Structure formats: C-alpha cells, structure tokens
C-alpha cells in the first residue's frame, strides 16, 4: 500500500491573536523527519485567517496534493485542553476576518446540510492523546469562525474515504493570554499532540 498522503494546516494570526500557536506548531515541523518516522508523505501549509484565502487555497491544495487525509489545526483561546472536533456547522459568524472582511451571509453552503461530520476517528484520537499524557476532549462545537469554516469546506470537498479532521489547541502555557485557563499544555506538549494526530490519521487511512 502506498504511504498515506497527509496535509496538515495551521492558521495565521487574527484579531485577538497576534501570534497563532498553530502557525508555530505546523510551520516548525521537521517534515522529512516526521514523515519518515510515521511512514507518510506529509505536506503542510499555513492558511491565512481570511475567508477569501481559504476559499482560494483549499480547493487548490486538495487538487494538487490529492491527500488521503487532511487535518486542520486552530487556536481555541478559552480552552485549557486539546479539543477534537466532531463536526462542522453550516454557519458563519459576522466577526471580521484578519483582512477586516465580514461574511455577507450566515450559511457557508446555502441549502447545504446543517452539519458535516468529521471523518477522523474522534474517540480513537482522544484516547491516543490521553495515552500520550495530554488533556484532551471531544467537542461538537467548532465555533463560527475560520476554524469551523475550513473544516466544513474540506468536508464538502473530500472524496469518498478521505479522512478530514480538526483539532483545536489552547494557548500554550508559555503565552500570556487573556481569558485563557491558568493550566494549559506547553508548546512541547502541543507538538506531541500534532504528531499523535497525524499518526492517528495515518492509521485511519491504512485501516480504510
């Protein structure tokens, strides 16, 4: 069987997060080393936290890479643990994106399903994260911002059998962040969470 092709994305900064930890986590990956260790073909990119950019980039990434699995990572500023999202909602808040643009509608896909279910094995991933001594939980609310938007769009585009998931990470303990819980994982812990997620996605591809 060919090695699973996996795309991992983080997000750039946005209003309220001048530095996005997922940009550091995904941008700082040693792709060659990690791909060899997990026996995968790995591609990474940082998505601008902008609706137009996501609409432009995601279709091209799916077409160019033809991934077996796509895992998006985003920041949840009020979380104290890693959150594995179970679904994306067909909903957009009117909050401006990083370019200052507000959505002109409240539905991502007018007439589309109210929810699209994530295709990554959520329970298995949460268990694996806990096995790696990380505080983790499943979540059924990916929000109404770019995180939820990217997940919905990827699920909308994914072909049969493709694995798609979204993992929200909290602010790392090293960062001073208003409204964030005092107890949070370190940046090193979150790097372990990224690798654990990619390993779980690869296993899901191999298991069909």
Q: Which residue has the tokens 């819980």?
A: 181
* Marked catalytic residue, from 50, 72, 86, 168: 168
**Catalytic residue list contains 33:** no
Spatial separation of the C-alpha atoms in residues 47 and 67, rounded to whole Å? 16
**Catalytic residue list contains 85:** yes
* Marked catalytic residue, from 72, 76, 86, 147: 147
**Catalytic residue list contains 168:** yes
* Marked catalytic residue, from 76, 85, 86, 196: 85
Contact criterion met (CB below 8 Å) for 88 and 166: yes
The helix (H) or strand (E) run that includes residue 121 is none
Spatial separation of the C-alpha atoms in residues 159 and 68, rounded to whole Å? 9
The helix (H) or strand (E) run that includes residue 9 is strand 5-11
Point out the residues that are catalytic. Answer: 85, 147, 168
């Amino acid at each position: 069987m060919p090695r699973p092709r996996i795309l991992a994305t983080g997000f750039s900064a946005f209003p309220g997060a001048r530095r996005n930890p997922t940009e550091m986590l995904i941008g700082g990956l040693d792709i060659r080393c990690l791909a060899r260790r997990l026996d995968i073909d790995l591609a990474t990119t940082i998505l601008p936290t902008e609706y137009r950019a996501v609409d432009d980039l995601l279709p091209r990434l799916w077409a160019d890479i033809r991934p077996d699995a796509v895992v998006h990572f985003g920041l949840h500023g009020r979380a104290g643990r890693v959150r594995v999202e179970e679904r994306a909602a067909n909903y957009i808040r009117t909050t401006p994106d990083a370019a200052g643009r507000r959505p002109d509608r409240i539905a991502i896909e007018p007439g589309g399903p109210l929810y699209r279910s994530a295709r990554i094995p959520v329970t298995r991933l949460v268990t694996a994260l806990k096995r790696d001594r990380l505080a983790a939980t499943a979540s059924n609310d990916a929000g109404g911002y770019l995180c939820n938007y990217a997940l919905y769009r990827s699920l909308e585009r994914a072909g049969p059998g493709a694995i798609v998931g979204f993992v929200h990470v909290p602010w790392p303990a090293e960062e001073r962040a208003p409204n964030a819980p005092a107890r949070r994982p370190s940046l090193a812990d979150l790097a372990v969470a990224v690798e654990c997620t990619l390993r779980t996605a690869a296993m899901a591809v191999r298991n069909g």
